[in-house]
Structure 1
């Protein structure tokens, strides 16, 4: 199916004339007689060169253009004596010009070969016998297609008259200009095409978005195609990547085709569900582009809509404070902290001592937490040795940040009890009958100034409140201790030992290499 479009928006028109003395005339007839434009060639080196500027922005939505003419309503025709007809041909003009000041010299028509573009339009014969009111049509197809292909919205051209049948051509026509009050006397463009280019409206995304981890990047809008029955497909691509379809449908000639595509920025790329639509990592601090357009099945392609965006690569959670050396300490350190994630991603917090997990739990953004070392782990830390207490925060993409507190543990006392978390210890010291006596031996080195501060023992260690008895003197003397307690509330009897050795003023290290003993 063919359509015809009429373009009447003349932005500027005029003509210049060269006289019969070596083309030296300097006349701008368009300025002095603005309602008349002349096309033709006069013998004795007299030339009339009409200039036109048409607004062609309205034809950018046409595809399948098969013909284009400059249609000239004839207001006067002239031919002299026996001179022959002329051939009028349209050339695009490179330079800018002003219709009120253009002259033969200023337009540099003497050097027209350097200033015009020959797109290969076909010339039209003008005999000078054309009747008033008739329409003379000049071919402009190639020039129009070239201008559209270059993205031009203005078709800037002039008409050059060539010799006709002999070297004595003297014929021409006059027509109206854009100032002529009779619109029927004004030239216009007549364009024949087979398909209208579909139109695109992109409502989302907005331009210049910044995408961080997990951010949605929505593409939404509508497309219309005035040609009933055309299959319309909306497409997009990221940068110069793979073209992908968003939506497709058959046009009824008027109803918009709505489309929506939800992309997600994650792991340095844009994803459509599980599909990687970028194929490569998107660089930070770089302008990236989304291109959206619509095509129909007749070869029509809309103007491309472009949206710029930048990305921020996923960042690990942020732990408040700074790494810290706590120096030499005698008590378990206590530090408060908060964790936030720059992208708002979920995260886990893990607290460790020397790489061993103390606790791990889901973090809450901005909530104050406290890290410390439980007593049973604290007393097992080597003395006079560097240790690391760490807080790790890991987001759901695996990025981790760490806060580290270093310290050296020192003590003025050695203190211990039996470890009933050890099954062997638990079984050995848990009894059916009541223990009456216990012998405790300490393998120790006590330098001058140090002492055994106390040794306490109990035979009802499973009770909620065990009865502790002082066995210090017996241990120092190397004797057994006789229990005075004869009661329990728990199911079984159990012996426990509680030892404390004070370093005092000793300058050497106190050593406790082990313990032994017996009970009955």
Structure 2
């Protein structure tokens, strides 16, 4: 979300990301609001640092005044620096003579020949079109020296200009306007050069460094001299020097409308960004899981934004943990992000805002603060894998452990996704996953999966997965205890409900002396297949009592398809 420029305090820093000098955005400082004599309601800006080392005006070889011929002209309206500041012409094209004896700031016309700037582009050439168009024309009061220019004042109208002695809260006998609110002491007037200013300067001095204040020009002439120009000395006091000298700094001013928008918050360097146009709407929502676990990932998503200017560029997602600083996690057009929660955090929150191509941002959509669950899930001994081929009922041993004491551990065992049992386990104790004979019979040939899931009462969960293969090729079914008979069984009838694929061998045998150590089995398969009565030929027994039993056998052979016995029934006498 954006706010108006006038809402920022005196001393606040702003920038337009498209307004550059030496390839970097110019950082401006608010020095006054609605300054007397300036456009109504204007916000006055000065470059926060010295941006360049340049002469005020070049030597004027053909000037009839000898000192201006040798040392340059201190009359601001004719100065090279004023013309350069207000030109948007390209390299080597900004200069035109301002009077009959004027000269450009070539190496031959400046101090020791260094820092000539006639071949530069005009200062406004590096401004964004919107910034250039937003600069307010400002009527300036400019003093004249008494020696050659008759004293008094003249007016000029500029968009970019140098400050006056009076505006900086200093005095030299020439009054050009009133003091800016930002300047009330020598310290407040100090200005440091930018890194680009230092590196591009051909004039080298050990004290010209980014960490030390530097001198910078004012527009005010020395009152009784035609070539001296006032400046702010590196200590913040008033100074004066030759107009043609190339090692004094430039610190330009401009005025903007108070209604221009800036970003709602400053960046990491405490600088606000000018916003051209309307900011995007606030993202409609932000979704953060209610359960957040330390050491795991969570997915954050948020709603879309709209932009009246149709230049929505994307979203900025930030995170805060343990009520600390907000840090950026993501910037881009997507509306989802997966974050890793560090084990040990106590709380976490997220916020998201939209931004557009002009740097305008919406207000934040902020999530509720989530408590981080730093519970350690239970562990299950062993590792996932295959148990190989199984031929009958079996068991798998495992141990469940939870490093967090005092928690309730629930274990669920499943075969092929179907729950077998659920129980409360004791940490460190060994348990057995038993595949019983009854369960084994029900399993079809092929691959099967066993899962053991251990969960604690705080939501920590671990699953161990095993696979095994069943490949049964024969079925044999008989009664563990023969059916009691009052006497010798001589005839019976049976039915067997079954699914036997073609190619498999199906056999049914019966006996009437089932209680004997070695019963006499008689094959009755054909009678069962024909659903007819059959007669038993055995007449002897060794056991104390007669007993009827049957034995059903199936061999799959090379047959394929389902093969099973559902039930067997019948009567005997």
TM-score normalised by L of structure 1? 0.32
Please give the TM-score of this superposition, normalised by the length of structure 2: 0.29
